[in-house]
């Protein structure tokens, strides 16, 4: 299947899900989700894998939330996400459709204890840590936003005047860029928007592959 854009009711589907996150709503609108959201996302990811497959196998996340340990018991995710990664935490390229529009991301979205240790070791070094800081600074100048799970305090043993103290607080570290809903969401041209964004963020993801790994 060739990607031709998300369906005309794709964003509207998520608007409705935000208002009524229930099994009844999902079942009533399941065909919209399958045909206008999930199928186009799978097609878009398949086309991108040809260029970015070095980062792993593509995956479109399921629509159901994991409620086992969640206080929020709403059953469905209010976005459709897709990722290219070799394994969790080792560097990924991500994209997401929701009622807010399109989000693309790159970096380290999760860390196991050994991955976090490698991340902090690399950040502590002037060469490797400085390289990551330069990559982040370059992306933020282009409109990307730094995100991730962070500690309220500094990691044990880190000097309070460390030049990359704020990065060392991160348990996960990634950058995103967002676009509000527009006509391009429903056109083949969206492929170029995601592809160009991933190309821009490729060096960041490569840094995590090389220095954090799986």
Tens digit of each residue's pLDDT (9 = 90 or more) over 78-89: 999 999 998 787
Question: Domain-by-domain residue ranges, the chain?
Answer: 10-109+144-150+174-211
Interval 143-153 mean pLDDT: 96
Q: Are 139 and 201 contacting, i.e. CB atoms less than 8 angstroms apart?
A: yes
SS (H, E, C) 7-40: CCCHHHHHHHHHHCCCHHHHHHCHHHHHHHHHHH
Strands (E), the chain: 57-60, 79-85, 92-98, 101-108, 145-147, 173-179
Q: CA dist 57 to 44, 49, 106, 122, Å?
A: 14, 8, 15, 26
- Residue 26: pLDDT over 90: yes
**The pTM is what?**
0.94
Share of the chain above pLDDT 70, in %: 100
Tens of pLDDT along 155-204?
A: 998 999 999 999 999 999 999 999 999 999 999 999 999 999 999 999 99
Residue with tokens 């990924």: 92
């Amino acid at each position: 299947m060739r990607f031709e854009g998300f369906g005309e009711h794709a964003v509207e589907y998520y608007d409705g899900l935000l208002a009524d996150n229930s099994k009844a709503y999902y079942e009533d609108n399941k065909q919209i989700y399958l045909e206008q959201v999930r199928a186009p996302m799978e097609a878009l990811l398949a086309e991108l894998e040809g260029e970015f497959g070095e980062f792993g196998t593509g995956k479109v996340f399921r629509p159901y939330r994991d409620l086992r340990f969640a206080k929020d018991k709403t059953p469905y995710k209010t976005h459709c996400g897709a990722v290219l990664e070799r394994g969790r935490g080792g560097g990924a390229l991500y994209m997401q459709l929701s009622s807010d529009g399109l989000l693309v991301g790159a970096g380290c979205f999760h860390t196991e204890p050994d991955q976090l240790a490698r991340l902090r070791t690399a950040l502590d070094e002037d060469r490797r840590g400085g390289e990551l800081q330069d990559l982040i600074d370059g992306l933020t100048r282009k409109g990307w936003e730094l995100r991730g799970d962070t500690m309220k305090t500094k990691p044990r043993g880190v000097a309070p005047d460390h030049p990359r103290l704020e990065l060392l607080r991160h348990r996960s570290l990634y950058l995103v860029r967002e676009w509000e809903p527009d006509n391009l969401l429903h056109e083949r041209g969206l492929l170029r928007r995601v592809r160009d964004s991933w190309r821009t963020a490729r060096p960041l993801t490569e840094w995590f592959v090389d220095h954090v790994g799986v």
